[in-house]
C-alpha cells in the first residue's frame, strides 16, 4: 500500500508522525505522505516542523515518507497561490481537500485545485465532467478514498475518470490507526468503486510515480 493522504497531530490526526510511520510500516506500507490540513494560518508552521522531523529521522525511516500538505477549506481564489507557497516551503506532495458531499466545501474548489496544479484532488465528490477532463490534461490525480463519508462518491469519481482517462490514486485519508489499510483491502475499495479489474494495478502505479517524483 502507498498512501499519499494521511494526518497527524499537526492537524486533526491522533498520532505523532513517528507513530504513524511505524504503524504504516508494520502494516506493510511501501511509502507514505503526511499531508496535514493546512491553510494560510498554519502552512508556514506545520510543514517546516514535519520536514525537520523527517530530515532528522531520514537514516532511520523504515519506508519512504514524504512531507506534504492538504490545503483544506481554502477560498478557491487563494488555492493556486497556496499550492505554489507549499511547494516553495518544501512540500513533496500537495493535496487539495476537494468538494466532498459530506462537508460544506466552497464551490469552485475542485477547479481551483486542478488549475493550480495540485498533485492530488482529494475526495472530489460530484466532480463535473469538465473538471475531470481538465484533470487529465493537467496530470492531476483524482482520489478514490477509503475514508468513511468521503467514499460515498467514489463510484461517481471512478466512472468519470475511467470514461475520460483521468489518473486516479487510492488513499486512506487516515486520522487514526484504525484508518490504515492493507494493499489487499485497498484493492477491494477500488473494485467496489467500479474500477475495472485490469485498471487496478495502474492506480497503484500512479501513487508510486508521485513518490518517485517527490524524491527527485
Q: Note the pTM of the prediction, 2 decimals.
A: 0.98
pLDDT on residue 95: 98
Confidence check: pLDDT of 59 > 90 = yes
- Give the number of domains in the chain: 1
- Taking residue 215's Cβ as centre, other Cβ atoms within 10 Å add up to 10
pLDDT on residue 215: 85
- Taking residue 156's Cβ as centre, other Cβ atoms within 10 Å add up to 17
Task: State the chain's mean pLDDT as an integer.
Answer: 97
Q: What is the CATH number of the domain that holds 111?
A: 3.20.20.140
Number of H helices, E strands in the chain: 8, 7
pLDDT on residue 160: 98
How far, in Å, CA of 170 to CA of 191, rounded? 11
* Residue-wise pLDDT tens digits, 5-16: 999 999 999 999
Share of the chain above pLDDT 90, in %: 99
What average pLDDT does range 87-105 have in this prediction?
98
Cβ pair 80, 48 in contact under 8 A: no
Cβ pair 37, 65 in contact under 8 A: no
* Residue-wise pLDDT tens digits, 113-155: 999 999 999 999 999 999 999 999 999 999 999 999 999 999 9
pLDDT on residue 72: 98
Share of the chain above pLDDT 70, in %: 100
- Extract the C-alpha cell encoding 101: 458531499
Confidence check: pLDDT of 82 > 90 = yes
What is the domain range of residue 147?
Answer: 2-215
How far, in Å, CA of 98 to CA of 90, rounded? 22
Parallel/antiparallel/unpaired status of strands 120-122 and 93-97: parallel
Confidence label for 216 from pLDDT (cuts 50, 70 and 90): confident
- Extract the C-alpha cell encoding 10: 499537526
* Residue-wise pLDDT tens digits, 99-113: 999 999 999 999 999
pLDDT on residue 119: 98
Beta strands in 65-119 (DSSP E): 65-71, 93-97
The three state secondary structure string of 164-205 is: HCCCEEEECCECCHHHCCCHHHHHHHHHHCCCCHHHHHHHHH
Confidence check: pLDDT of 173 > 90 = yes
Amino acid at each position: 500500500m502507498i498512501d499519499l493522504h494521511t494526518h497527524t497531530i499537526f492537524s486533526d490526526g491522533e498520532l505523532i508522525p513517528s507513530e504513524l510511520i511505524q504503524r504504516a510500516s508494520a502494516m506493510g506500507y511501501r511509502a507514505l505522505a503526511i499531508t496535514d490540513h493546512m491553510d494560510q494560518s498554519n502552512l508556514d508552521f506545520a510543514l517546516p516542523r514535519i520536514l525537520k522531523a523527517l530530515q532528522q529521522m531520514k537514516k532511520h525511516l523504515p519506508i519512504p515518507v514524504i512531507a506534504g500538505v492538504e490545503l483544506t477549506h481554502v477560498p478557491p481564489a487563494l488555492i493556486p497561490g497556496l499550492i505554489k507557497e507549499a511547494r516553495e516551503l518544501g512540500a513533496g506532495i500537495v493535496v487539495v481537500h476537494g468538494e466532498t458531499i459530506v462537508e460544506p466545501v466552497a464551490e469552485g474548489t475542485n477547479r481551483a485545485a486542478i488549475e493550480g496544479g495540485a498533485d492530488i484532488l482529494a475526495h472530489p465528490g460530484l466532480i463535473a465532467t469538465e473538471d475531470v477532463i481538465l484533470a487529465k490534461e493537467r496530470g492531476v490525480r483524482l482520489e478514490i478514498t477509503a475514508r468513511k463519508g468521503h467514499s460515498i462518491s467514489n463510484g461517481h469519481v471512478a466512472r468519470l475518470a475511467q470514461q475520460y482517462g483521468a489518473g486516479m490514486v487510492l488513499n486512506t485519508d487516515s486520522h487514526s490507526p484504525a484508518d490504515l489499510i492493507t494493499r489487499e483491502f485497498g484493492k477491494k475499495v477500488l473494485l467496489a468503486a467500479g474500477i475495472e479489474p485490469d485498471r487496478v494495478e495502474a492506480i497503484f502505479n500512479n501513487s508510486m510515480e508521485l513518490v518517485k517524483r517527490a524524491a527527485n
